[in-house]
A = this chain, B = another copy of it.
Amino acid sequence: MADYHEMWAGLGLDLKTHDMVLEIVGKAYQDIFLSQKNRPKGMSYFDFVVSEIHGLRIKEIMDAKAEGRKVIGTFCVFVPEELVLAVDAVCIGLCAGAELGFEEAEKYLPRNTCSLIKAAFGFKLAKVCPYIETTDLIVGENTCDGKKKAYESYKDIVGNLYVMDLPQMKSTEGRALLKAEYKRFAQKLEEISGKKITVESLKKGIEIANNKRKAINRMAALRSADPTPISGLDALLANQVFFYDDPVRFTGSVNAICDELEARNREGMGVAPKGSPRILLSGCPMAVPNWKVPYVIETSKAVIVGEEMCTGERGTQNLVNTKGNTVDELIDGIVDRYFQIDCAVFTPNPSRLEHIKKMVKEYKADGVIHYGLQFCQPYQMESKIVEKELEKAGVPTLLIETDYSQEDAGQLKTRIEAFVERIKS
Does chain B have a CB within 8 A of A45? no
Is A145's CB under 8 angstroms from B345's CB? yes
Give the copy number: 2
Stretch at the interface among A92-100, A169-177, A244-252: A169-177
Is A382's CB under 8 angstroms from B173's CB? no
> CA A380 – CA B375 in complex, angstroms?
12
Does chain B have a CB within 8 A of A344? yes
Is B165's CB under 8 angstroms from A168's CB? yes
Instruction: Pick the most buried of A153, A180, A384, A385: most chain B CB atoms within 10 A of its CB.
Output: A384
| Interface, chain A (partner B; CB < 8 A) | 107-110, 112-113, 142, 144-146, 148-153, 163, 165-166, 168-169, 171, 173-174, 176-177, 180, 344-345, 347-349, 372, 374-375, 377-378, 380-385, 401
Is B381's CB under 8 angstroms from A110's CB? yes
State how many angstroms separate the Cβ of A4 from the closest Cβ of chain B. 35
List 15 interface pairs A-B (beta carbons < 8 Å), by A numbering.
A107-B384, A112-B112, A112-B377, A112-B380, A144-B145, A144-B377, A145-B146, A145-B345, A145-B381, A146-B377, A148-B347, A149-B377, A150-B381, A152-B381, A165-B169
Is A110's CB under 8 angstroms from B377's CB? yes
Is A153's CB under 8 angstroms from B110's CB? no
Is B385's CB under 8 angstroms from A152's CB? yes
Collect the chain B residues with CB atoms within 8 Å of residue A180's CB: 173
State how many angstroms separate the Cβ of A409 from the closest Cβ of chain B. 21
Is A146's CB under 8 angstroms from B381's CB? yes
Question: Closest residue of chain B to A384, judged by CB?
Answer: B108
Is B142's CB under 8 angstroms from A347's CB? yes
Partner of A151, one of B113, B152, B166, B347: B347
Further contacts, 15 of them, CB under 8 A, given A112-B377, A113-B377, A142-B347: A107-B384, A110-B377, A110-B384, A112-B380, A142-B168, A145-B146, A145-B377, A145-B381, A146-B381, A149-B347, A150-B381, A152-B348, A165-B171, A165-B173, A166-B168
Collect the chain B residues with CB atoms within 8 Å of residue A345's CB: 145
> CA A149 – CA B376 in complex, angstroms?
12
Collect the chain B residues with CB atoms within 8 Å of residue A165's CB: 168-169, 171, 173-174
Collect the chain B residues with CB atoms within 8 Å of residue A177's CB: 173, 177
State how many angstroms separate the Cβ of A110 from the closest Cβ of chain B. 4
Collect the chain B residues with CB atoms within 8 Å of residue A113's CB: 377, 381
